[in-house]
């Protein structure tokens, strides 16, 4: 589950010192204490332990900071508020006693009610996610008294693992089943649209940076209210939200009264979408008002999305002077936004006419990729096609079973041929495709479909590749592993991007600009191009699972080593400037304010070391 809580204005108390309002620290999730001035590469060696707060059990969440008070949970089931100045207790609340909720026991060896995420500061409230059952609560910031609670997921294994971001009095929430808003003051749910077993907003939202658009599948044909009217519909439809606040601006029902499962696409003020109705209608919708401006019946269910280029839309039943569509999301930012399109507009969309039709001989549910005047797409009869965008004439087609030598696993019901369901990804002279069972990804030459390589991503017999990739010329910061690669939170000061490298598999990776190493570590990358500037190994030779934080040229990170070292690293060159052994695994991250850093230690899960305390280190 992904929880996004969004936030209003910055009050007068916030302007005087650095607050840390959620796991990411601020609205932009940067884990960057941009107001910090006392800590620097020159002063960080003078950090000294100021106080230690004993909670009695592990603390893995980054503490939130507001107006001189720290807020954090412990794995003992308590939530704490303590003074940042001296570590004295302001209040503590036991989550079971506060809420009456019992732990679901979904987390191994945790049979009580706990929170694992950084609390979110929301004006006079503190928002806390429960790590089973999947409930979010709000308590009074000054007293810890319960104000409201709301269940986000009723699945027995549902947990809240991440902090939210509060914005303008509303909480925006995205799960697989729902696109939701709720009022932070009373937890009243405001649905963009209902979910269902086949999904809520599915297969791809779109944004033009002014608004965010999504389909609402409504697979169970539930009632939902169309805005700004009070009219209800049981059909699927489409919704637009303000990109700055998440406010629902309009919702439009599918006129055919069917579900709306396919992704949406935006181009120059027009939103394009399709319906699962058997006549296969596609629609051009005014992006500002939700009014339907144009429609066309394709003759069969439209389950995929449209790509847009040079006054044309392409739907299934060169980056030079025209719009290319390089993947399912269209571009590197995955916005499904044809930002170069000028011929299509709310004024011209009614003049769209059928130009050509290509018969693939099987269903087409993927958004066609577009590059240099050619379209690339798969069909469910097991073929991959390249056709000219100008007239629909065939350039080449390849049977995927013959091309790869792989047989279908039958993982998709009713599909007994080797097929692809995803938009191919354009990667220079290559075309990258995924198979819908077995779990393979392959590359062919874009010009003639000659197979270049084939690699298995998942050996499970039911594995399928369901989504398009995004191609980018980058660098691997460090190796991944079963316990993660860069996990729980990167940081950026807008000059560089920093991440931990857990390296849970203890693979070799090259430290730049030096030699190889097998422990975890930290990496600094150029924010503009992703170039790796430096990488630094954990001196204790442990894995590094906790998120990083940055302040005024200093990066803070911790190690899972049993001695619990916390490190201060020069953000410019990766040199370690200061360290302290806390006595137990550091699995969480640091928050930073007014010359001090605050970090908890301990993680009970083997092979890590359990702990008990929160520490404050301040520049002397």
Residue 380, domain CATH: 2.40.10.480
Give me the mean pLDDT over the 318-343 stretch. 72
Residues 451 and 542 in one domain: no
pLDDT of residue 199: 54
Residues 219 and 278 in one domain: yes
Q: How many domains in the chain? A: 3
Is the model more confident about 167 or about 41?
A: 41
- Is 113 among the domain residues? no
Residues 289 and 233 in one domain: yes
Asked whether the predicted pLDDT for residue 183 surpasses 90, the reply is no
- Is 441 among the domain residues? yes
pLDDT of residue 443: 94
CB 531 within 8 A of CB 515: no
- Is 63 among the domain residues? no
Q: In whole numbers, what is the pLDDT of the chain averaged over residues? A: 84
For 41, the token pair is 């590469």
Q: How far, in Å, CA of 370 to CA of 135, rounded?
A: 43
Q: Which of 281, 303, 325 is the last residue of a domain?
A: 303
92-144 per-position pLDDT tens digit: 999 999 999 998 877 777 889 999 999 999 899 999 989 888 888 999 999 99
CB 210 within 8 A of CB 243: yes
Closest listed residue to residue 185, CA positions, set 269, 123, 231: 123
Residues 451 and 503 in one domain: no
Residue 257, domain CATH: 2.40.128.630
Asked whether the predicted pLDDT for residue 175 surpasses 80, the reply is no
Residues 517 and 451 in one domain: no
Q: How far, in Å, CA of 548 to CA of 62, rounded?
A: 10
Q: In which residue are the tokens 């350039």 written?
A: 395
CB 579 within 8 A of CB 566: yes
Work out the pLDDT band at 186, boundaries 50, 70, 90.
Answer: low
Residues 218 and 290 in one domain: yes
Q: How far, in Å, CA of 570 to CA of 199, rounded?
A: 45
pLDDT of residue 438: 93
Residues 294 and 375 in one domain: no
pLDDT of residue 103: 86
Q: Which of 458, 476, 505 is the last residue of a domain?
A: 458
535-576 per-position pLDDT tens digit: 999 999 888 889 999 999 999 999 999 999 999 999 999 999
241-275 per-position pLDDT tens digit: 887 766 788 988 889 888 777 888 899 999 999 88
Handedness of CA 129, 133, 134, 136 (dihedral sign): negative
Domain that holds residue 254: 209-303
Cα angle 214, 218, 219; round to 5? 130
Q: How far, in Å, CA of 2 to CA of 160, rounded?
A: 8
Which of 76-85, 228-237, 356-365 is modeled with the greatest confidence? Answer: 76-85
Closest listed residue to residue 479, CA positions, set 516, 430, 439, 527: 516
Write phi, then psi, for 96 (nearest 5 degrees): -65, -45
- Is 564 among the domain residues? yes
Q: How far, in Å, CA of 27 to CA of 490, rounded?
A: 14
Cα distances (Å, whole numbers) of residue 614 to 54, 369, 597: 7, 51, 10
Q: How far, in Å, CA of 343 to CA of 88, rounded?
A: 64
Residues 299 and 379 in one domain: no
Handedness of CA 152, 157, 161, 162 (dihedral sign): negative
- Is 84 among the domain residues? no
Burial of 425 (0-12, 13-18, 19+ CB in 10 A): buried
Q: Which of 402, 437, 458 is the last residue of a domain?
A: 458
Give me the mean pLDDT over the 370-396 stretch. 94
- pTM of the full predicted structure? 0.65
Residues 447 and 513 in one domain: no
Work out the pLDDT band at 10, boundaries 50, 70, 90.
Answer: very low
- C-alpha radius of gyration, the chain, whole number: 26
Q: In which residue are the tokens 């697979």 written?
A: 219
Q: How far, in Å, CA of 521 to CA of 352, rounded?
A: 55
In DSSP notation, 103-146 reads: P---STT--S----SPPEEETTEEEEE-SSSEEEEEEETTT--E
Asked whether the predicted pLDDT for residue 3 surpasses 60, the reply is no
CB 446 within 8 A of CB 307: no
Asked whether the predicted pLDDT for residue 601 surpasses 80, the reply is yes
Residues 562 and 505 in one domain: yes
SS3 content of the chain, % helix, strand, coil (to 5): 5, 35, 60
Residues 498 and 601 in one domain: yes
- Is 394 among the domain residues? yes
Cα distances (Å, whole numbers) of residue 144 to 93, 94, 95, 290: 7, 10, 10, 43
pLDDT of residue 584: 97
Residues 504 and 599 in one domain: yes
Work out the pLDDT band at 185, boundaries 50, 70, 90.
Answer: low
Q: How far, in Å, CA of 292 to CA of 38, rounded?
A: 57
CB 448 within 8 A of CB 396: yes
DSSP 433: E
- Is 384 among the domain residues? yes
Q: Are strands 134-140 and 307-309 parallel, antiparallel or unpaired?
A: unpaired
- Is 599 among the domain residues? yes
């Amino acid at each position: 589950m992904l929880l996004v809580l969004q936030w209003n204005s910055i009050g007068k108390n916030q302007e005087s010192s650095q607050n840390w309002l959620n796991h990411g620290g601020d609205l932009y999730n940067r884990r960057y204490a941009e107001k910090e001035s006392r800590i620097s590469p020159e002063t960080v060696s003078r950090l000294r332990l100021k106080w230690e707060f004993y909670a009695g059990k592990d603390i893995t969440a980054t503490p939130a900071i507001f107006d001189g008070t720290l807020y954090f949970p412990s794995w003992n089931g308590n939530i704490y508020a303590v003074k940042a100045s001296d570590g004295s207790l302001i209040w503590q609340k036991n989550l079971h006693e506060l809420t009456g909720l019992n732990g679901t026991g979904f987390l191994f060896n945790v049979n009580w009610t706990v929170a694992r995420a950084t609390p979110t500061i929301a004006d006079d409230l503190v928002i806390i996610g429960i790590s089973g059952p999947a409930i979010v609560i709000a308590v009074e910031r000054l007293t810890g008294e319960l104000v409201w609670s709301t269940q986000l997921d009723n699945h027995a294994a549902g947990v809240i693992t991440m902090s939210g971001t509060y914005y303008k009095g509303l909480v925006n929430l995205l799960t697989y089943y729902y696109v939701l808003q709720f009022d932070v003051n009373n937890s009243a749910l405001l649905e963009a649209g209902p979910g269902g077993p086949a999904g809520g907003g599915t297969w791809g939202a779109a944004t033009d940076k002014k608004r965010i658009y999504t389909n609402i599948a409504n697979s169970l044909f539930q009632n939902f209210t169309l805005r700004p009217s009070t009219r209800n519909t049981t059909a699927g439809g489409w919704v637009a939200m303000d990109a700055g606040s998440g406010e629902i601006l309009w919702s439009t029902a599918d006129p055919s009264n069917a579900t709306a499962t396919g992704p949406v696409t935006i181009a120059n003020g027009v939103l394009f979408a399709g319906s699962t109705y058997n006549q296969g209608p596609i629609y051009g919708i005014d992006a500002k008002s939700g009014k339907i401006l144009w429609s066309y019946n394709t003759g069969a269910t439209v389950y995929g999305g449209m790509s847009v280029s040079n006054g044309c839309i392409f739907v299934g039943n060169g980056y030079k002077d025209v719009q290319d569509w390089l993947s399912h999301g269209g571009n590197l930012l995955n916005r499904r936004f044809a930002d170069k399109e000028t011929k299509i507009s709310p004024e011209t969309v009614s003049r769209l006419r059928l130009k050509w039709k290509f018969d693939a001989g099987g269903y087409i549910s993927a958004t066609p990729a577009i590059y240099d005047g050619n379209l690339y797409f798969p069909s469910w009869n097991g073929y991959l096609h390249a056709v000219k965008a100008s007239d629909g004439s065939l350039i080449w087609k390849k049977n995927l079973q013959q091309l790869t030598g792989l047989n279908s696993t039958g993982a998709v019901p009713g599909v007994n041929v080797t097929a692809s369901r995803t938009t191919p990804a354009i990667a220079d002279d290559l075309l990258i495709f995924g198979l819908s069972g077995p779990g393979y990804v392959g590359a062919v030459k874009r010009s003639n479909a000659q197979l270049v390589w084939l690699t298995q991503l998942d050996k499970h017999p039911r594995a399928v590749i369901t989504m398009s990739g995004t191609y980018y010329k980058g660098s691997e910061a460090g190796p991944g592993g079963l316990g993660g690669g860069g996990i729980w939170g990167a940081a950026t000061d807008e000059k560089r991007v920093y991440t931990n490298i857990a390296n849970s598999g203890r693979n070799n990776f090259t430290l730049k600009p030096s030699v190889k190493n097998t422990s975890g570590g930290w990496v600094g990358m150029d924010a503009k191009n992703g170039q790796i500037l430096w990488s630094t190994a954990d001196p204790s030779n442990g894995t590094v699972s906790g998120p990083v934080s940055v302040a005024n040229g200093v990066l803070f990170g911790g190690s899972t080593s049993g001695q619990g070292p916390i490190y201060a690293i020069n953000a410019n060159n990766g040199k370690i400037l200061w360290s302290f052994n806390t006595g137990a695994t550091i699995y969480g991250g640091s928050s930073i304010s007014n010359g001090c850093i605050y970090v908890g230690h301990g993680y009970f899960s083997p092979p890590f070391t359990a702990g008990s305390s929160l520490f404050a280190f301040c520049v002397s």
